[in-house]
Amino acid sequence: MAAADLLVVISNPLLKWTAEIYFPRSFLFITAVCRLVTWLMFASTATSVWMTVAFTVDRFVAICYEKLKTKYCTERTAAAVIGTVSVLACLETVPWAFLYGAGKIIDGVSWYCVLTPSFTNSPSWAAFEIFHRIFYPGVPFILMLLFNILTVRRILAASRARRGLRGQKSGENDKDREMENRRKSIVLLFSITGSFILLWGTTVVFSIYRRIANSYVLSVTNPRSITYQASTMLQVLSSCTNTCIYVLTQTKFREELKNAVKYPRNLIFKVMKR
């Protein structure tokens, strides 16, 4: 999941937007390279989204099914899921590689990328774009919400059983560290689902509006251009927040991160003592 998010950051903000602003005549604007970058943007985003769904399913199995956990939550299963999700995401986004055509032919080389006329006029492209824009935030959101609700229900049931075994009243659980961890887990699960749909919402709405209004030429000062840039920024941010939320909230990861930060300092002290 982290690797897919890193590819989103490399392909979208760096290869796409940074290159367009600061390196307008670089090899990245050769039509073939531009198409490759465009496909990589969509493929990495799709992979990141489905990796988040796969991680949610993994947490659901680990918490709700103890017997299945030993068979499913293994390195072999994880490798198979990662490989399958990556391949399917890359295949599903192949049509986006043909979104652009050549803008100019210079010395027999195709340069720049312009929208093909068929994209704005073809009903097939319209259906594909609307399906893609609704499918990606819609289906993953429903799946994450469903599995998170089932996971939370399991956590709450276990919490009620724990309170019964400990003989505590509902108002006396503040000293129970296990109960606090479960509350944090519930907040974490729903923060993932909520942030996903909020950050993707602007892109979905704007893409549908642009398709209906058939407005694809955007000037820099146009409010629609500002909306487009903002929606793109939020979508890219969505691909990074889930990894940060999942990882930074884990105690073991924070401990290892502290050790990594302290390691150079400790190494210097050891050298100085010698």
Q: Which pLDDT value is given to residue 16?
A: 79
151's enclosing H/E stretch is helix 123-166
How crowded is residue 209: how many other Cβ atoms within 10 Å of its Cβ? 12
Closest by Cα among 11, 27, 23, 29 to 100: 29
Residue type, 216: Y
User: CB-based contacts of 160: which residues, under 8 Å, 6+ apart?
Assistant: none
Q: Distance between CA 10 and CA 8 in Å, rounded? A: 6
| Per-residue confidence band for 87, with pLDDT thresholds at 50, 70 and 90 | very high
Mean pLDDT of all residues belonging to the chain: 77
Most confident of 5-9, 38-42, 103-107, 158-162: 38-42
Domains plus CATH for the chain?
2-251 (1.20.1070.10)
Tell me: the pLDDT tens digits for 46-75?
888 888 888 888 888 888 887 887 887 788
Q: Is the torsion defined by CA of 34, 87, 125, 236 positive or negative?
A: negative
Q: Does the pTM exceed 0.85?
A: no
Number of DSSP helices (H) and strands (E) in the chain, helices first: 10, 2
Q: Which pLDDT value is given to residue 227?
A: 72
| Per-residue confidence band for 155, with pLDDT thresholds at 50, 70 and 90 | confident
Say yes or no to pLDDT of 181 above 70.
Answer: no
Say yes or no to pLDDT of 266 above 70.
Answer: yes
Tell me: the pLDDT tens digits for 27-43?
888 888 888 888 888 88
Say yes or no to pLDDT of 114 above 80.
Answer: yes
Q: Which pLDDT value is given to residue 173?
A: 46
